[in-house]
Each structure stands twice: as C-alpha cells, then as structure tokens.
Amino acid sequence: MTKKILIVEDDRRIAELVRAALVREGFTAEVVADGNEALVAFRVASPDLIILDRGLPGMDGMNVLREVRQSDHTPVLVLTARDQEDDTVHAFELGADDYVTKPFSMRELMVRIKSLFRRSPVQQMTPTVQFDRLEIRVAERLVLIDGKQLETTRTEFDVLLLLASNPGVVFSRERLLHEVWGYSFEGYERSVDTQVTRLRKKIEEDPKDPKFIETVWGVGYKFRNAQG
C-alpha cells in the first residue's frame, strides 16, 4: 500500500521540493501551510507519517505536535532551523520521532523517512523482556514500571528494547543510530543522548543514578547485566 505523508510547511518552495521528492520515491504526499490546517488534515486523511516544520504561522509546529501526540502514534519528523537547536530537545520531549535541520539534503530526508517506516513494527522472538520493576511487552510495544504503563515514543521504545534485549552489551552512539534510526549522520550522536535522558526520566527511580541504562564513558550505553 502506498504510504501517505502529510507535509506541514509554510515555505512553499521547500514544501514543493519535499512533495516532489516524496512522489518520486513512490509516496503520496499532501501539503498544508499552517498548524490549524495540519490538524484538520491529520484527522481527515490519517497520514502514515507527518513532516512538520517547527516554525509555522498561527499554531506553532510544537503545538501541532503536542495535539497529534495526545491521540496518536503516527511518526513525526520535525524540520528545524539551525538556530533552533535547543528546540530539537523540546521536539523529542513532545514525542517527535526524528528531526532534520534546515538546510537539509533531499537524500538525507528520504533516508530518514524510509527508516522511520522500516522501524515499525519491531519483530522479535521474545514476547516480553523483564528486569525487576521494568517490563517490555514487545508485540504490544508497551513499557511498564511496577505494572504501570508508561508513555514512550517510538524511538524511545526502540532504543530501550535494543539495549534491554542485549544486557551487558556496550552500544556506541553510532551503533545505536545505525540500528534504531537506520542511518548514522555525523553530528547526530546527541540525539541518542537525548533519547536516553528521556528514557531514564521515565524508567529510573533516580535518573541521576540509573539502574537500567548505564553510561559507558567515552563510548555509549549498555543495559545492566541481569545479575547486576
């Protein structure tokens, strides 16, 4: 089935370039230019993925993201300007799955979109992964702490599942980017740190003294050994 992508971008030139690139890749794409239209199109067309410009007239991109996330897990890729780097952290907090900084190459954008589609659903042999208070139900893509369900984004879930499925194995940031995001562009290692910080806030009793995801200084992260 053809994947439907909603482009929310007020810069008509960028929107048209992105739309044309998506169509060339075999996607169906619709463009809207402001936040309110985006929410209408999101509800009416139920796209398979949303490309969301951060800076929009009227309703800001971050508010659109917040609204979308209240009811849905459709992957969202946020477009940000280079001087809005702090906003990428904010975008992840609101549940964005990935972001691209303007100016971007169409090739990079297409790689990322395809990888977002590839990522879900994760096929695993193990139906659940359990460590003390933490339980991951793979098929349902649920994370529970003490039996209580947590809200996780697709990316947070994939990072946690990969680490927890390989306890004691050290993953470099580059390897995590490769395996979870499906690509590794230079300079995006910080995205990994942001995701881990977000996860720790959700799953750890004390995020500053993490018991599940340990930092391996100068390398990356590992999930603690079952005995540890």
- Tokens 């929310």 correspond to 8
**Size of site (CB under 5 A) for Ca ion:** 3
CB of 116 to Ca ion, least distance (A): 21
Say whether residue 87 binds Ca ion (CB under 5 A).
no
Binding mask 156-175 for Ca ion (x = CB under 5 A): --------------------
CB of 10 to Ca ion, least distance (A): 5
Q: Which residues contact 46 (CB under 8 A, 6 or more apart)?
A: 4, 74
Say whether residue 214 binds Ca ion (CB under 5 A).
no
Of the two residues 55 and 182, which places its CB atom closer to Ca ion in the complex? 55
Residues 9-68 that bind Ca ion (CB under 5 A): 10, 53, 55
Say whether residue 97 binds Ca ion (CB under 5 A).
no
**Torsion angle, alpha carbons of 74, 79, 85, 90, to 10:** -30
Of the two residues 33 and 144, which places its CB atom closer to Ca ion in the complex? 33
Which residue has the CB atom at the shortest distance from Ca ion? 55
Of the two residues 68 and 159, which places its CB atom closer to Ca ion in the complex? 68
Backbone φ and ψ of 138, nearest 5°: -65, -50
Say whether residue 135 binds Ca ion (CB under 5 A).
no
Q: Which stretch binds Ca ion (CB under 5 A): 8-16, 89-97, 143-151, 195-203?
A: 8-16
Largest CA distance in the chain: 56
Q: 131-150 burial by CB neighbour count: b if 16+ within 10 A, else e? A: beebbbebeebebbbeeeee
Amino acid, res. 89: V
CB of 146 to Ca ion, least distance (A): 42
Distance CA 135, CA 145 (A): 6
Distance CA 166, CA 36 (A): 43
**Which residues in this chain contact Ca ion in the complex, by CB under 5 A?**
10, 53, 55
